[in-house]
Every structure is written in structure tokens, then in C-alpha cells.
Amino acid sequence: MEKTISFAACCILVLFLITGLQTRAQNADIDLLRNISGTRGSSTDAVMNGITQSTYPIALATPAAQLIIGYVKHDKQTIHNGWQTVGSLGTAVVLGYGLKYAINRNRPYEAYKDINPYHYDTDPSFPSGHTSIAFVNATSLSLQYPKWFVIAPAYLWAGTIGYSRMQLGMHYPSDVLAGALVGAGSAFIAYKGQQWLLKRKQKKIKGIVE
């Protein structure tokens, strides 16, 4: 009986601790968002919205340019890079939207009336889709062309996309962090997956030749 009471007491204590940590995390999340979105103004809104709106055009233009250049020049590596970027984007979209509707987190302006967004979106908040797509591009390019003059501007752009989503009041900081992880992770999975497929193909060709 005493063991049962002790076990129940431990469970209640753990529950309180988890609830307290969740509350702290949520408070930190909204406090940071308030600090960031509180810097809004008509001029900054226009700039940040312009940065946000660059996400999808650049994300689509990157693999399109790689594939066009690759096929025109008959450059197999650039063609592989283009398809790998396409695979990364597809993986990020599936993972990102899967998480969005599985978790179904409200946008910050739906939960907190003092958050005034630049505009209203109807899809769930977690993770940030714009951020995940931006980090897909940045990570794909960084893996394909590991030079500082590619990596630095790619991640600077992706990071600015994430910041713009918070500054415009569209996402919590945790949404943006999760979006960055989804994007970077999707690019890494696609990159490693393509490497595995190419090695497998080379082994088959080698086996046929031998």
C-alpha cells in the first residue's frame, strides 16, 4: 500500500514538473515573440514581408536553374544536385505539413490577442513552413557546394526568413526553430539518400562489367 502511495506521489510530482516546464517554455516563447514583433513599423513590415515573399520563388528557382544548366551543359553532377534539391524540398513539405496537422498548434495571434500579425494565415503554426523551405535550400546548397561564399549567404538568407516570420507576428520562435530543423534535416536525408543510390548504381554497373 505504501509503495502504491509513493508511486502515485512520484507520478503526480513528475506531472507537475512537466507542466511547469511546459508553462515556462510557452512563456519564454511568447515573451521572445513579443520582443521581436514589437519592433514592427510600416517600413520594417514592407522589408520583412519582401524577405518572406522571396522564400518560394528562390526555393523553386534553385533546383530549376541547376537542372537547366545541368542538362544544357550535360553536367551530370549539376543534374544530380538539382534532383537532390527537389527531393529535399519534397521531403520538407511532407514532414512539415505532416507535423503541422498532427500537432495542430494555433497561430500566436489566435492565442494572444495582443499579437497583431501582418496578415492572417489559416494553416497551423508549428513548424514554420517558410523557414523549413529556406533551410532546405541553404543546407542543400551548402552540402553540394561546401564553400564559405555559398554557405554564409545561404544561411544568412534562411535565418532572415525565419526572423521575418516572427517579426511579422506569424510564428512563435519555437515554430521557426522547428522549421529550421525540419528543413536542414530534410536536405541532409535527401543528400545522403542520393549518395546511397549512386553508390548502389555504381556497384551494379561494376558487377555487370566484371
For residue 12, the model assigns a pLDDT of: 34
At CB < 8 A and 24+ separation, what contacts does 120-123 make? 121/170
Prediction pTM value: 0.81
* pLDDT, tens digit (0-9, with 9 covering 90-100), for 113-164: 888 888 888 889 999 999 999 999 999 999 999 999 999 999 999 999 999 9
The answer to whether residues 132 and 171 touch, using CB atoms and an 8 Å cutoff, is: no
Cβ partners under 8 Å of residue 19, min gap 6 = none
Domain count, the chain: 1
**Which residue range(s) make up the domain with 147?**
2-209
Compute the mean pLDDT over every residue in the chain, rounded to the nearest whole number: 84
Residue where the block lists cell 534532383: 83
